Chains A and B, each alone.
Chain A
Amino acid sequence: MADISTAPTRLTLTPGPWAVRARRFSEIAKKVLSNPTTLIGLIIIVALLALAFLAPVLTTPNVPDPYQMPRDWGARDAPPGTPGHPLGTTSTGGDVFYGVLWGARTSLQLSVIVVSITVTVGVIVGSLAGFIGGKVDEILMRLVDVLLAIPELIFALAIAAVLGPSFGNIIFALSVVFWVKYARITRGQIIHVKQNEYVDAAHVTGDSKFRIYLKDVLPNSVTPVMVQATLDMGGIVLTAATLSFIGLAQAGLAEWGVLVSDGQAGISAGKWWASTFPGMMVFLWALAFNLVGDGLRDVLDPRTENR
């Protein structure tokens, strides 16, 4: 390639004062935003989040539990544009508009909770394995291998089926399934980073293992985890929706998956709205996070595979 090349090179956060790190971040941000598809993804995300946050303003929350669909048994299958039901109602008289908005909230809750649980657990386990190494590493990684051998959805399905379909159980099932990847990623990164000279240097200067871990190792392991987390934000909602389709969902919950599968029979008879709007939302949600995640991955580590 020409001496003066603009070919993308692998960017990873290098150690050093926060100033340096901050600059790297802004560089990365620039690169990420320069990709229109990522930008689109971000815009969609912002829009969806706005919906989620404005839900209590745009609709009158259902008492006592706003996450329950308000049902107007009198007005079933009302088409979009019906007064009081801008997007129509479901076959149980649930207001689709309400479902779409509070569904966004449900999805946000779900994905944020699950992601934060899984990232924490995964990073801790991965760090232990990667940093302590030896027997611990051996054992933990075998466990990870075992869990990775069962395809996500199927594992979640099996667990949720045993636990029963409450929102909490779904969260639990998803958490059990999704933490594994982070453990593997973190470990891989840490092992990789540990080999870099500056860690040895730190050793020489006699920093405590833990300090080194916090100061040098962890920050440099963040990026792939970040990517995976972004992708999972979408994947989790998609998986949850699939579980509800198969029949594992909390009754009457304002959740997109529930609405889609309830509304589907209607499509064939022309009542497309009950499942199309929530379906679109699931699609947009997953699409947006996948686009952003993909963009991030292109910039941060083009070759990482998510397993």
Chain B
Amino acid sequence: MIFPLIIVGTSIIVFSLSRVGGNPIAIYIEHEMSAEEVAELEDRYGLNDPLPIQYLAWARGVVTGDMGWSAVSAQPVTEALFSRLGATLEMSIFAAVVAVTSGIGLGTFGGARRDRLPDHLTRVFSISGASMPIFWFAILLLILFWVNLGWFSTGRSDPAIFGSITHPTGLYTFDAILAGNLNALRDAIWHLILPAVTLGFGATAIIARMMRSSLVEELNEDYVDAARAKGLPERLVLRRHARRNALIPTVTVIGLGFGFLLQGTVVVEIIFRWPGIGRWMADAVLRGDQATIMAYVLFTSVLFLTVNLIVDVMYAYLDRRVVLGA
């Protein structure tokens, strides 16, 4: 099992990034500080110890859940991370739903009409999602739907509505459901739509192309003709037979898509004022809050790895031909 090995490796890279070149306490340093004050700070954050010691100290912290103080959010890193994680997860999940449904939809649509006009159109459409500079696209959406139509707003919720709601899960939609507050639920979903679509649109292509190519392959399989030979209508041949099997390899790229979503959140959260870990990272980068950067990068990669692990398991489960472990 190389999983832990990779995590350790990642943590080392992350750590060295923050030490080599990066100034771990850049954020605390104001330009009118005197050298003594800087020294004092460095001492407070134990930067005078040799690097390996510092690493071990940090690593111990990571394990024990103490990753230091996140200056950009004026909270302990762990606290900040988990208070913001919900936001990002929620957006990513909704975006994933958008990406997967539209990806599979487009892929099926195109694959079933292989090399005909609809196929080409869907391909261009889905790929244009992956080629769109998100930050630009998002602004266009805001201009149209916020300023000109006033349908949507930025942010994660309307504080007036959500002020009264507690956040046991951190996912506003669930919190709203738990609170049994329909208005809040609608508000939460409403704020989710634009960011989720923007983000999901980007990841659609990955899934769509995989879905298409595997559907094309499946449609060439004998069992599809066999199904036709039974007298099944095309609808069933496509839905129950070809697509079901095409979905299996498609699952494998969902992990890839998730990575795409993760890095997309950094930009999307800036523009839609989404209080998630993506924007947390962006702030940290601009203001040099190394403790935050380290925690974020490490956590993201662990998340990314985990998702891929899950995907592999799912794949093994879905594909009857693969025997788990073998």
Contacts and interface: CB of A to CB of B under 8 A. Distances in A.
A and B touch in the complex (CB under 8 A): yes
Interface of A: 1, 7, 35-37, 40, 142-143, 145-147, 149-155, 157-159, 161-163, 234, 238, 241-242, 245-248, 257, 260-261, 264, 267-268, 275, 279, 282-283, 286-287, 290-291, 294, 298, 302-303, 305-307
Contact of A290 (B127, B134, B139, B282): B127
Contact of B135 (A36, A261, A303): A261
A283 to B, nearest CB: 6
B297 interface: yes
A146 B210 contact: no
Contact of A238 (B133, B253, B302): B133
B5 A37 contact: no
Interface string B160-183: 000000000000000000000000
Interface stretch (B32-40, B66-74, B191-199, B261-269): B261-269
Given A153-B266, A302-B217, A307-B256, A35 B115 contact: yes
Interface of B: 2, 5-7, 9-10, 13-14, 17-18, 20-22, 115, 120, 123-124, 127-128, 130-136, 139-140, 143, 147, 205, 209-210, 213-214, 216-217, 220, 222, 225, 249, 252-253, 256, 259-260, 262-264, 266-267, 270, 281-282, 285-286, 288, 293, 296-297, 300-302, 304-305
Given A35-B115, A264-B136, A7 B220 contact: yes
A287 B137 CA distance: 14
Contacts of B147: 268
A158 B293 contact: yes
A178 to B, nearest CB: 14
B253 A246 contact: no
Nearest to A246: B282
Given A158-B297, A261-B135, A287-B128, A151 B6 contact: no
Nearest to B134: A242
A286 B143 CA distance: 23
15 contacts: A146-B6, A146-B9, A146-B13, A154-B263, A154-B297, A246-B267, A246-B282, A246-B285, A279-B136, A287-B124, A290-B127, A294-B123, A303-B214, A303-B249, A305-B252
Q: Which secondary structure dominates chain B's binding surface?
A: helix
Contacts of B263: 151-154
Contacts of B2: 142, 145
Contacts of B281: 154, 157
List 3 tightest A-B contacts by C-beta distance, closest first: A146-B9, A286-B131, A153-B263
B63 to A, nearest CB: 18
A275 B305 contact: no
Contacts of A261: 135
A292 to B, nearest CB: 10
A147 B14 CA distance: 10
Contacts of A283: 128, 131-133, 136
A238 B263 CA distance: 13
Contacts of B297: 150, 154-155, 158
A245 B267 contact: yes
Contacts of B132: 283, 286
Given A142-B6, A246-B267, A303-B249, A260 B205 contact: no
A159 B21 CA distance: 9
Nearest to B219: A7
Nearest to A247: B286
A287 B133 contact: no
Contacts of A152: 259, 263
Contacts of B209: 294
Given A1-B220, A283-B132, A161 B115 contact: no
A35 B110 CA distance: 14
